[in-house]
Structure 1
């Protein structure tokens, strides 16, 4: 008969652990308080998914312009740009989805995406398009602030679990 792994950080309940103490230890290590999704994660996921939708709309508009014969410098360069828009949009959809589920790698990916948005939002705002610039800057700053919130870090830094990777 095999025993469940013992966490050395937790004090032992006695010389021999019975079934009741095993159930109690499992309940303590997989409690529902740590599994609850913080609101910050939902906000960040929503911001990232809205950015993905905006990129998808930009790609659709770009493809429409490309198909209707809008002048471009090089056709294959325009196709490459369209491919980049679509790939980045799919990447953001994946980041938003897996961040909502609590995967560790998504915090860095979401931070990089928000920094890209800021590098476009500030010149947009200072170039005279204040509302579109603010529409990019405010959600990006909010997402960055939430990314470094204690609850979000704890939720997205979990290890192990019973669910599969995909």
Structure 2
């Protein structure tokens, strides 16, 4: 028999039969964004958030380098294609920063975004590793593999189960 899911944004029911995951003092929003009072942030959430934030920083640095190359008139086949690529790098970097932040805060949706980003890193890391750049390939593969394993950890899944909803009106 399974229990009904607990929504951390609902007010606490302090009756003797209250579910175990509901804090006694109020909702998750009142307890600093942590899904349940007393539930510590697992180390896996911290590690995955750091890995994703570092990937976002690397993409931002690549976008900066790409932009400088574009402004210094480096030869390109299509100027607007290069501008589009720069926009994609900036957008993906912004998206990864959002994934890292909201995963750290315990939301549910960033787990999928982090998994997709790690699969992309694996897709780029393997050819890089076998193409003659072993250090760069390992720098992409090892954190991505660790993040994928940690994303499926029970503690990470339990912590990152907060559903996004409207903030309280008052």
Q: Which band: TM-score by shorter chain?
A: 0.7 to 0.9
Q: TM-score normalized by structure 1?
A: 0.80
1:61 positional shift: 0.1
- Tell me the equivalent position of 1:87: 91
| Structure 1 residues 28 and 131: alpha-carbon distance in aligned structure 2, compared to 1, 3 A threshold | closer
- Tell me, in whole angstroms, the C-alpha distance in 1 between the residues paired with 2:100 and 2:21: 29
Which structure has more RCO (C-alpha within 8 Å, separation ≥ 6)?
1
1:24-74: CA deviation from partner (whole Å, max 9, x where unpaired): 84886225233x210000000000000000000000000000000100000
RMSD over aligned CA atoms reads 2.5
| Structure 1 residues 160 and 133: alpha-carbon distance in aligned structure 2, compared to 1, 3 A threshold | closer
Say which of 51, 55, 58 aligns to 1:51: 55
**Structure 2 residue runs without a partner (length 5+):** 5-13, 24-35
- The answer to whether the 8 Å contact 2:59/2:90 transfers is yes
Larger radius of gyration: 1
Q: TM-score normalized by structure 2?
A: 0.78
Partner of 2:147: helix, strand, or coil? helix
Instruction: Report the count of equivalent residues.
Output: 146
1:157 positional shift: 1.5
**Structure 1 residue runs without a partner (length 5+):** 1-8, 11-20
1:73 corresponds to 2:53 = no
